[in-house]
Amino acid sequence: MRQQEPRPQREERPVPPRRSEEGGGLHSRVLDELGPAIASGEHPPGTVLRIDELEARYGVSRTVVREAVRVLEAMHLVETRRRVGVTVRGAAEWNVFDPAVIRWRLAGPDRSRQLRSLTMLRTAVEPVAAGLAAGAATPGQCRELTVLAAEMAAAGRAADLDAYLVHDIAFHRVVLTASGNEMFARLGDVVAEVLTGRTEHHVMFTAPDPAAVTLHVRVAEAVRARDAGAAETLMREICVGALHELDVLAP
């Protein structure tokens, strides 16, 4: 794979997490501030968060705070104990597959390790999914992969990372769904957060690697040709290449 120049270092600034999808307004604002604070370790495990203190800190009502806490409880980031308060749980208990948790952790100081862990997950799952897709993909899914690969190539030539990201996420979603395995398909949001996090936090080269783009085109061709072995091997090259990028950009 052709080595590219890393993206130039930028002044380190905190990257605000994207707005959560669990509702809007005040509840989302609390969630979008408190969630990353927990995920980053600002509130270590065992920390007790008092409802009245959270009300004062965020300038919202008790109802709004409780709504946000309920979402965090569903993610297993906190638990509410009678006569104690809202207690932060250890990271081993978190729902680490929740897209919001992934997003918040990638915005924190442990980003490099998180990216590596998630990319290893992709390496274990996506090649198998591509092999299964070669046998199970519908004609429509085959066409969609071909179109998306072409759009990735066009965005790569234009060095348009934003457009490339959109098509890249869509490509991998189709592969996971076309596998016919509902568990793999549910990982589409996880992969989307990994790819988005790499772009938003500048863990990317200055332009998409042409060799990686070519591999996506070949995966689409292998799936269309019903060549499971080739599809799996090519997808593994894509994932291993992403790990090699991390070795350079986020060691």
Indicate where the chain has its CATH 1.20.120.530 domain(s): 110-249
pLDDT score, position 246: 87
User: In angstroms, rounded to a whole number, what is the distance separating the alpha carbons of residues 155 and 162?
Assistant: 8
DSSP 110-167: THHHHHHHHHHHHHHHHHHHHHHHHHH--HHHHHHHHHHHHHHHHHHHTT-HHHHHHH
Do 209 and 93 contact (CB within 8 A), yes or no? Answer: no
Higher pLDDT, 228 or 8: 228
pLDDT score, position 82: 84
pLDDT score, position 4: 52
User: In angstroms, rounded to a whole number, what is the distance separating the alpha carbons of residues 52 and 126?
Assistant: 45
**Mean pLDDT value of segment 98-117:** 93
Write the single-letter amino acid at 247: D
Which CATH number does 25-93 carry?
Answer: 1.10.10.10
User: In angstroms, rounded to a whole number, what is the distance separating the alpha carbons of residues 219 and 155?
Assistant: 18
DSSP 58-114: HT--HHHHHHHHHHHHHTTSEEEETTTEEEEPPGGGS-TTSHHHHHHHHTSTTHHHH
Q: 16: which residues sit within 8 A by CB, 6+ positions away? A: 32, 107
Which CATH number does 110-249 carry?
Answer: 1.20.120.530
Indicate where the chain has its CATH 1.10.10.10 domain(s): 25-93
Do 134 and 179 contact (CB within 8 A), yes or no? Answer: no
pLDDT score, position 1: 45
Q: Computed from CA positions of residues 79, 40, 168, 226, in that sequence, does the dihedral angle turn out positive or negative? A: negative
pLDDT score, position 22: 37
Of all helices (H) and strands (E), which one includes residue 48? strand 48-49
User: In angstroms, rounded to a whole number, what is the distance separating the alpha carbons of residues 146 and 156?
Assistant: 15
pLDDT higher than 70, residue 35: yes
User: In angstroms, rounded to a whole number, what is the distance separating the alpha carbons of residues 60 and 76?
Assistant: 23
Band (pLDDT 50/70/90 cuts) for residue 24 is low
pTM of the entire predicted model: 0.84
